[in-house]
Structure 1
Amino acid sequence: MRFRHTAEVRSLNPGLAGGALHARGVGGPTDVTARAAAHTARAAARLSATPEGRFPEVPAWRRAYARMGLRPTRYRCASEALLRRLRREGELPRIHPVVDPCNAVSAAYAVPVAVLDADRVAGPLLEVRHARGDEHCTAFGGGIEHPAPGEVTCVDSDGRAHSRRWTNRQSGHSAVHRHTDRILVVAEALHDGGAGTVAQLMATLAGDIAAHWGTAPATALLTPGAPEFDLGGGG
């Protein structure tokens, strides 16, 4: 399976920096508490100095949402939502041993990070593109939604949308669960210097996954010259 952003998405968001990670063997139990806490503490320290709305990473996504015709203070990118929750509640939710460090790293770098059960994504292509309106997305509550035409979403070869409003909300269909063994992680930044931020973020996540599960993830930085990530065999 291949993952990519369309040329149209890239042309409308020229600062887009993407990173992708593929890992197998992440289904076993492990204690991620210490590493997740370290990443969360980094985010909290940054928040203690300035609110998330003043981070350069956040306004860049708000501008992208405005370009999509969405009100940025109603629909927020995933990393801004995590940072707001951390600032207000002092902690991030505990969800799953794979998801928790990804959320903590997302907050630490203020960059949206999506983690998908790769075996729940239909190949051969997963693409961030503008919706036509006939895609179907499974909400976490179990209902079926249809992204509005023109909405940026992440669509597989079966026409299933794995996100709503780009990085606002993931689909429940490909959410990580207790039987997940193989994951695709995607990080996306729009701010100046985003490529460097994403490179650091992906290296951090790869190190965490290797330390927790003893597996060596495959990673890639996605650029206009190299816009695709091939997950290799098995999907």
Structure 2
Amino acid sequence: MKISIDPKILENFPDAKIGWLRAGVANAGGAAHVRALKAGLEARLNDIGILADTMMMHPDVRRWREVYSAMGVKPSKYRSSLEALLRRIFKGDLWEVSPVVDCYDCVSALSLLPMGAHDMEKLRGGLTLRYAHEGEKFYPLGAGDSVIECAERHVVYADCEKVCCWLWNYRDTRDASVDADTKEALFLVDCAFETEWRSVEEGLSALAAELSAIGCTVRKSGVVSAAAPEAETE
């Protein structure tokens, strides 16, 4: 399966990158390891200068609001997955989805890089970061039978059949989500601009280490960017 960035995205976001990592997750466990990661998140964020009342001053957090404004949505209402995650951490609202999901969320927060994942068996054809087609339908995870109509300015991840993630990394679709039956997952690390804290490559390395620590089998990883706008994940 190929993963790619559409040329029109790179015209407007020339520094955009996608870090990708394919891993077997059927043997994931490590609940205690993930609980320890979650318990130490706020202190570790404080250590790198990320505080509840100042996090929006950090460019790696703040600049995603500029990206969302460019997509024609209010960034105070539609927040990047990174900002949403940090806000939950500082509110003490620690999530509990599964060891795999909780693990990559922890790495995302500590790397200041939005991250997500899809079940590879639910993807069809290649996965592309592109602009949505006007009126294209998106079926969000955790929203019942709700349907969102996309606009042309919205950046989405899409395979050959469906929108897999809306507003770059705002929300995944229920039709490609990682769940208890997932055997192979494709993890994504998002970057729309030059970052200050961690690079996509550093985020991928941290993700690989933590997934391995909970029993996942990392098979292959890489980065797509303007220099190499597509890659084969198999």
Q: Same fold (TM over 0.5)?
A: yes
Deviations 1:172-197 (A, max 9, x none): 11111110011011111234346952
Quick check: 1:210–1:217 contact (8 Å CA) kept in 2? no
Q: 2:167 aligns with which of 165, 168, 173?
A: 165
Aligned to 2:5: 5
Matches within 5 A, 1:76-95: 76-89=79-92, 91-95=93-97
The answer to whether structure 1 residue 75 and structure 2 residue 78 are counterparts is: yes
Instruction: Return the alpha-carbon distance in structure 1 between the equivalents of residues 82 and 164 of structure 2.
Output: 17
Deviations 1:50-108 (A, max 9, x none): 6221111112211111111211111110010000111122x530111110011111111
Q: TM-score, normalised by structure 2?
A: 0.88
Aligned to 2:133: 132
Matches within 5 A, 1:199-210: 199-210=201-212
Q: TM-score, normalised by structure 1?
A: 0.88
Aligned to 1:34: 33
Moved more, 134-143 or 32-41: 32-41
For the aligned residue pairs, the C-alpha RMSD in angstroms reads 2.1
Quick check: 1:57–1:189 contact (8 Å CA) kept in 2? no
For this pair of structures, how many residues does the alignment match?
228
Q: Structure 1: 5+ residue runs without aligned partners?
A: none
SS in 1 for 2:175: coil
Aligned to 1:97: 99
Deviations 1:110-166 (A, max 9, x none): 21101111111111x2111111135332222233333123311111111x0011111
Quick check: 1:17–1:194 contact (8 Å CA) kept in 2? no
Instruction: Return the alpha-carbon distance in structure 1 between the equivalents of residues 113 and 185 of structure 2.
Output: 18
Moved more, 181-190 or 212-221: 212-221
- Structure 1 stretches of 4+ with a deviation exceeding 4 A read none
Residues 182 and 156 (structure 1), Cα distance of their counterparts in 2 relative to 1, 3 Å cut? same
Identity level (%): 25
The answer to whether structure 1 residue 143 and structure 2 residue 149 are counterparts is: no
Instruction: Return the alpha-carbon distance in structure 1 between the equivalents of residues 13 and 156 of structure 2.
Output: 14
Aligned to 1:175: 177
Instruction: Return the alpha-carbon distance in structure 1 between the equivalents of residues 155 and 193 of structure 2.
Output: 18
AA aligned to 2:139 is T
Deviations 1:13-72 (A, max 9, x none): 122232001112x12351244256337242354434862211111122111111112111
The answer to whether structure 1 residue 230 and structure 2 residue 215 are counterparts is: no
SS in 2 for 1:95: coil
